[in-house]
Chains A and B, each alone.
Chain A
Amino acid sequence: MSLYSAETRRLTKRRFTKLFLLGVTLILAAVAAGMFFTNEKAGPAQIASAQAQAQQDYQRSLEQFQRDQAACQAAQGTAQASNWPPGCEGMIEPTAEDFQAQWYMPPTFDFRESFPDMVTTLAALLAMVAFIVGASFVGAEWSSGGMMNLLLWRPQRLRVLGTKLAALLVFFTALTVVFSAVWTGLFYLIAQARGSSESMTSGAWQSIALMELRGLALVIVAGAVGFGLASLGRHTAMALGVTIGAVIVFQFGLGTVLSLASVKFAEAYLIPVWMIAWMDKEVKIEDYNSCDFSSASGCVPDSLTLTWPMAGGVLAAVFVVIVVASMWTMRSRDVT
């Protein structure tokens, strides 16, 4: 326990951790402020204004149509007739349905509809911070010689590395839980002030809670992967280098090669697609080069649906492989 509390203290005392937490807090505050100021509550005044604007636009469009029709009629039999449809047919008169008041409503924050995107935003930002802080937490220890010092005090390599990882993951679990609670409360207030939360049922709340839980899992895996990669390379730069390499190879290189080779469902090889599948429960990828013809709906492209259990399996596999590899090298490699 003493080692665990020392590692937690070490993590929270680090300037790097403090700076990144401050940074992510500021970014999240900016997102919340942006959502607050760009949304408006839909009251009778906004509805009346939208209806008036819709009506105004409809009238303007109607007048323009009438002018065009008159000009077309006048041009018949002259050289100008080619500028208009033959016989002035096919000119469609606008209707009131083309100018619905709801399209003129100011943006409003519907909690049930819009908050899931905010959950994904929070999870992605915290996962990035967990990855970098996790990598630096152990990477800086290796490169500064702190790890060797620690091993002179506690010559139990797996326990030292395992405790460090546990301290990191528990810290980010607590952080994510607190941030998620504050984030949910904040956006609930924004919905109250600048939108609506009326459609929230207990099922909808449950769905959001589960989504936040999946976000927590993403943060934990990101932290463990950053930590594991930096421990394998015994330097923070190892984790960051592998990540940049993976982005270049998998996202740009592999993505380009697969699309050039017209590989079916090429997006399935891209990391963000799996993350979206994990957070949004599923992602449907369509192959637009294929045609599954049916008399009822015509040409329908083949599709592949990635579900959250599939994405969860990938996350679990990455977690296990990297953590086990880092523990194995910690146990077997000399500390020089």
Chain B
Amino acid sequence: MTAVLEIAGLQKTYRSRKGVRRALDGFDMTVEAGQVHGFLGPNGSGKTTTLRTLLGLIRPNGGRMAILGREVPASLPEVAGQVGAIVESPQFFGNFTAQDTLSLLADAGGVRKERVVAVLELVGLRDRAKDRVKTYSLGMKQRLAVASALLKEPKLLILDEPANGLDPGGIREMRTLMRNLAESGMTVVLSSHILGEIQLICDSVTIISAGRRVAAGSVADVLKTHTSLSVKVALEPGVDMRNAIELLRANGAQVTVEHDHFTVGNAGNPAQITRILAEREIYVSELTPMSADLESVFLELTGTAPVEGQNRQVDQSAAAPAPASGGWGQ
């Protein structure tokens, strides 16, 4: 497979009176041709900065990037015709109609006029094409943004939160559209917080946290790497769960409390749980390995899982890569 998008050691630093902030700190990413690739990260982790830098809107402080085998930003004008992108929320001039908006973009990019009608049909805006954009809902603006990205029949499609504002039907349509585009040979990079969606439609993912890559690979591989680490623990009825949780936490376990049970996220050796609890005469009634979903892997890798009694701040996320295997108790 050939890489359509390659990023290596990307760095971006913002300097202000408050000091220096590293938005990207040696970030790496590779996307193979024909894939739907999920790009995940908590708020403020550097996702949008990466996409903006890749698309020439932000100047990087270091690292290298290539799109379709061409170094960017130097070759961006040559490859821009093959890259369709929306970055962050859709932004259009409100007093123009959708048709005018796309028609002006088509003019600016030298794209055939027939494409305007075709993409409006594709995203379901045909009947509202002559309405002013300011009368559109967020979901409709999102559809228009996707239409604008598809206008030039790109080889690489970069979509930042494309499902934002869409109704459930729209989300499903978007999912189908992404899959169809990938099947037609287009490579799609998808940034989203709807991790269930990413798990459903993406072939591969990159997870970013604090400006660095913390996981990458096919969705199956990323999930497999983290499957065995979490276990669900239930205690005998009537036993005070708080004592058990404090005991495990004191021994370094990452415990998440649920309604009638709790989970230990870094249980490399589940026997440790039973041993520690049994020593205090607390007996386990259920100990089940949990099959990880992308959401739990994401929360674990980025260190953004909610912790009882704590209010996590936006910039509080895991800076260093999480261990690929093993964990507490091993």
Contact = CB atoms under 8 A, between A and B. Distances in A.
Interface of A: 2-3, 5-7, 9-10, 13-15, 140-141, 144-146, 148-156, 332, 334-336
A145 B108 contact: no
A154 B109 contact: yes
Contacts of A6: 104-105, 107-108
B267 to A, nearest CB: 42
The 8 closest A-B pairs by CB, nearest first: A145-B91, A6-B107, A335-B57, A155-B56, A6-B108, A155-B76, A334-B58, A153-B109
Interface of B: 52, 55-59, 73, 76-77, 80, 85, 87, 91-96, 100, 104-105, 107-110, 148, 152
B91 A336 contact: no
Contact of A155 (B59, B77, B110): B77
B57 A336 contact: yes
Contacts of A14: 95
Nearest to B95: A15
A150 B57 contact: no
Nearest to A15: B95
A14 B95 CA distance: 8
Contacts of B92: 144-146, 149
A7 B104 CA distance: 8
B93 A146 contact: yes
Contacts, number: 75
Looking at chain A's contact residues, the main secondary structure is: helix
Contacts of A140: 93
A231 to B, nearest CB: 16
B108 A152 contact: no
Given A10-B104, A13-B100, A335-B52, A152 B93 contact: no
B100 A144 contact: no
B11 to A, nearest CB: 14
A7 B56 CA distance: 21
Contacts of B104: 6, 9-10, 13
B91 A146 contact: yes
A2 B106 CA distance: 9
B57 A334 contact: yes
A145 B87 CA distance: 10
Contacts of B77: 154-156
Contacts of A336: 52, 57-58
Contacts of B93: 140-141, 144, 146
22 contacts: A2-B107, A5-B107, A6-B104, A6-B105, A6-B108, A7-B108, A9-B107, A15-B95, A144-B91, A144-B94, A149-B105, A149-B148, A150-B105, A152-B85, A153-B80, A153-B109, A155-B55, A155-B56, A155-B76, A334-B52, A335-B52, A335-B58
Nearest to A156: B77
B107 to A, nearest CB: 4
Given A149-B91, A149-B148, A334-B58, A154 B108 contact: yes
A141 to B, nearest CB: 7
A148 B91 contact: yes
Given A152-B55, A336-B57, A3 B73 contact: no
Contacts of B55: 151-152, 155
